[in-house]
Amino acid sequence: MSSPFDQPVARENTCSVKFDARKAVFGTEDVIPVWVADMDFAAPEAVTRALSERAAHPVYGYTLFPDSLYEAMIDWFRQRHHWDIRREWILMAPGVVPSLNAACMAYAGPGEGVIIQPPVYPPFFSSIRHSGRTVIENPLLPGTGAQGDTGHYRMDLDHLEQCAARPNARILLLCSPHNPVGRVWSEQELRAVLAIARRHQLVVVSDEIHCDLTFADGPEHRVLATLAGPEDALVTAVAPSKTFNMPGLGLSALVIPDADQRKALKAVFESLHLPQCNPFSIAGFEAGYRHGAPWLEALMTYLQGNRDYVVQAVSERLPGIRTRAPEGTYLVWLDCRGLKLDDAGLKRFFVEEAGVGMNPGLTFGSSGSGYMRLNIGCPKATLERVIERLEQALTTLG
């Protein structure tokens, strides 16, 4: 049966980074764009309606955060993630990426260390470097799978302990669920992270922007804060932007139980005069959390079909490429090392031979060398074209 998500939405000439920046990013517009992490689906009708209603009022002035916005967010996380958030813990923020930068500035001094777990979302690197802090890498360990299966990545907890023990280590940036490898961390893994951070007095900044995007046949996402105690230094970053496909609206939230830690991060935002909202981001944020659940349920069913199609097609039709079904996110991590190409050659192959625009794995750190990231948040027909192009290009690879 046809799904609303099968319907293509024309995104060209809308100032879309994903579509209208193809020439700048790939050197050509003749690629199927399955890279940057937004989806090609219309946002929930409730979000569009809320934006239209706000636009109908002709004054777009400075705007407060209404009580109803906080209530919608608190209700969402209580009902879906069994997490009771107090209103005073919430600090609204102009996006998760600005929050990563601000956290580095708030909780580490110049030159002090921030731990990340590559391969990981590129702003984890840049937020540390741009703020004058030092990157400490705790690379994930790739799992060992059966033939045609890359296996799940796992944390190297012994090495994380060593990183945390460094005299200059101050912060751990945790990506949960993990972008790009698609892991939904287990409760055991998360408890181990908290224990290490507690022993070494690290502040954990947990980016949980993909927390709602987990699959029915996999593990349930566990919010790190639900495992933490009052002694843990923890900042949780959340947003409706990935969940309801509205990252361009920019608004996110930080949940920080400790008043001093909350004050420190707020002071960074204020020192930079960063705007935290506009009338439309507020309207979309609240509408998504208040009314978006049915749309999300349908979305995850559709994405699971896309995921399963891609995993099977890669296994059966793309020799030299391997993957494993992600537990969360709408991102698939492709192991292309079997193609025996260096990273420059791999990018040329995908762009010039196949006409497919993906994120090169190397942008996620050196441990991403030989990989590509595929965004499956698009109509299935788009993915069918991607697979067909790659299958054809592989016949000419030699």
**Confidence check: pLDDT of 233 > 90:** yes
In a shared domain, residues 31 and 120: no
- Answer yes or no: is 192 within a domain: yes
In a shared domain, residues 11 and 83: no
pTM assigned to the model = 0.96
For residue 98, name the pLDDT band (cuts at 50, 70, 90). very high
In a shared domain, residues 235 and 165: yes
pLDDT one-digit tens code per residue, 249-300: 999 999 999 999 999 999 999 998 876 679 999 999 999 999 999 999 999 9
Q: Which residues contact 158 (CB under 8 A, 6 or more apart)?
A: none
- Answer yes or no: is 54 within a domain: no
Q: Which of 124, 115, 128 is nearest to 160 (CA)?
A: 115
Domain that holds residue 154: 59-291
Strand-pair category, 134-137 with 113-116: parallel
Q: Which of 251, 255, 336, 288 is nearest to 42 (CA)?
A: 288
Q: What pLDDT does residue 277 have?
A: 78
The count of domains in the chain is: 2
81 touches 223 (CB < 8 A): yes
Asked if residue 319 has a cis previous peptide bond (ω within 30° of 0), the answer is no
In a shared domain, residues 87 and 181: yes
In single-letter form, the type of residue at position 169 comes to A
Asked if residue 119 has a cis previous peptide bond (ω within 30° of 0), the answer is yes
The residue from 232, 257, 291 where one domain ends is 291
In a shared domain, residues 229 and 374: no
The residue from 291, 316, 348 where one domain ends is 291
pLDDT one-digit tens code per residue, 304-335: 999 999 999 999 999 999 999 999 999 999 99
- Answer yes or no: is 340 within a domain: yes
- Answer yes or no: is 20 within a domain: yes
pLDDT one-digit tens code per residue, 326-380: 999 999 999 999 999 999 999 999 999 999 999 999 999 999 999 999 999 999 9
The residue from 291, 324, 352 where one domain ends is 291
Q: What mean pLDDT value characterizes the chain?
A: 96
In single-letter form, the type of residue at position 47 comes to V
Q: What pLDDT does residue 37 have?
A: 96
Strand-pair category, 331-335 with 134-137: unpaired
Q: At what angle do helices 380-394 and 293-317 cross, to 10 degrees?
A: 20
pLDDT one-digit tens code per residue, 103-150: 999 999 999 999 999 999 999 999 999 999 999 999 999 976 544 445
- Answer yes or no: is 264 within a domain: yes
